Every structure is written in structure tokens, then in C-alpha cells.
Structure 1
Amino acid sequence: MPRLTTSLLLAGALVATAACSKKHPEQLPPAPGPAPEQTQPTGPSGPVGDAVVPGSSADFKRSVTSDTVHFGLDQYDIDDTARAILDTQVAWLNRYPNVRVTIEGHCDERGTREYNLALGDRRANAAKNYLAGRGVDASRINTISYGKERPIALGSDEESWAANRRAVTVVLSQ
């Protein structure tokens, strides 16, 4: 009798385990294919080397003074240097009215995470408001704050901190 009880308990445990097992899909999704070939634009005499597509991120970086404006310690006001940079961005954005951008706000490593996220947000919005005030449709501009999470200069000195206090304009792919 005890052997029968043990066998029944063991059989019940196996059935319960089998019922909980994960079912595999009948058909697996296809494996990723090869990346599409990058083709170069061609001119009358053949391929054009290092061609930049108008309205692209590469065109933006080539055409503007800089994609980055810097800020002072605990500041988010747009100074004369930042105005000059943003004015070149305004001219480019007005040339390509269908292009959308994201402005990323960044801070140096000092301060709390929450404080730096709020300050990065104020920096990104200051740049956005400047662009919008110069005629760029505000609905084309997104903002995001990374606070101190994405430094470009790794160091705990004034030069590194100054490099990390910034707002960066990024052209979104279309």
C-alpha cells in the first residue's frame, strides 16, 4: 500500500510539472536578414564620395557652428556664445521644416540625481524656448534630461565639469 501511494504521488507531481511547462511556438520567427546595402549617391561621372544627404543629422552637424551649447555652474540661461550657436541651428531648421529634433539636457557630476535631472530639463527647455522664439515650431522639438547620467568628459575637475554642463541638439531620423 505505501508503495502504491508513493507511485500515485510521484505520478501526480509529474503531471503537475508537465502542465506547467512552457509551450514552444509552432513556428519560430525568421532570423534577422543581412543589413541593407548602403548605396552612395551617383553623379554624372559616377559615385560621389562622402556625400551628405540634405536635412540629415550629418548635414546638421556639418552646417551648424555646433550641436552643443554649454552652461555655467548651476545655470541654464542662454549667453551670447550659446545664442550664436543656436542661431545657426535656427537657420538650418528653418531650411528643413519637416525635420524634428530632440534637445538633451546634461549636467556635471556634482549635486543629487534629482537636482541634476531638473537642471538638465531647464537647460534643454531653455534651448528649446530660444529656438521656438526665433521661429522654429515648438512641436518639432522634444526635450529630455539625462542629468549627470551621460557625461562626455570623465573626470572630477573644472574642465570636465564644464564640458558636461550642456544641451545637445540631436536630429531625429526620418
Structure 2
Amino acid sequence: MKGIIARIEVQQGDITRVVTDCIVNAANSSLLGGGGVDGAIHRAGGPAILEDCRRIVARQGGCKTGEAVITTGGNLPARYVIHTVGPVWNGGTHGEPEKLANCYRNSLKLAVGNHCRSIAFPGISTGVYGYPKEEAAAIAVKTVVDFLTGNDSIDKVVFVCFDVEYYRYIRRELNL
């Protein structure tokens, strides 16, 4: 476990400024931009990201909850953006935990498939989708640790926490 934790970083800040091979966007199913992290990534990354998203929408109709797609990073420091659609919190009895875990798992698989050695995650679904931050942090950390345990293709995972509350929950889950 110690070796796995050494491959994980926790930061509070702006994911659009993180230097990793790819960053993850907490997108909506249309992939055409929105608020929060999604809007910030589209604004900072420029039109190339939206152009790639439009091609994906034309080809497959968007992205379903728990799934992930990849685009260019545009003007971002990251080479790629992995867009994943988190679940809207509806009390936790409608498959939300598994759907959220799938966001992390499928994003990591897509990163490995595109030869990314480093990836940065926001707090998927913890904004307007209303997922309780404490529960979301537990799922995020468990899913990432489980993935890293069975895969050495990823050298670094960065949890980029927009707010101090989520930052504290992630650190607590990692025993930092």
C-alpha cells in the first residue's frame, strides 16, 4: 500500500493548470461544455476540445454516466482531456456508487490505453451533481488504489480538489 500511496498526490487548486499527461473533466452527457470544472476546462483549453467533443457526439451521441472519452488538451498543459460523466446524487440507492467508481476506473483505463503516465482527477459529481463529498472521496481513493495495485502503467495520480472540504476528505482516505 505504501508504494501505491507514493504514486498519489493531493492538491487544492485549479485542474486546468496541472501538468500531467491527461486531466479528467467532470462532463455532462452532451460533452458540449457546462458549468464548474467542465466550463473551466473548455474555457482554458480553447476550441480544439469542443471540436473533438462534437466529433465524438456525432459518432456516438455523447457519453453515458460512468463512461469516459478522450480529446485533445487544446491549450491546456495536459496533452489530453478525459471526459467522464458522473452520476447525479439521488440518495445513493440508484447505483450512484458503482457509476462513480466506473468514472474513475474507465478514465484510468483510457489513460493507460493512450500511453499516459500521469492523470489528474477533480472531485467528480461533488459539485452541482450533489454527490456527498465524504462518500465521493472514499470511492475515488478506493477505486484509484485498487487500479494502481493491479497496474504499474500509471506513475502519478493527482487528486485536484477545488475546495478545502474535499481536499481534507481525500487526504483522510489516504491516511495523510
Taking structure 1 as the reference length, the TM-score comes to: 0.32
Taking structure 2 as the reference length, the TM-score comes to: 0.31
Say which one has the larger Rg.
Answer: 1
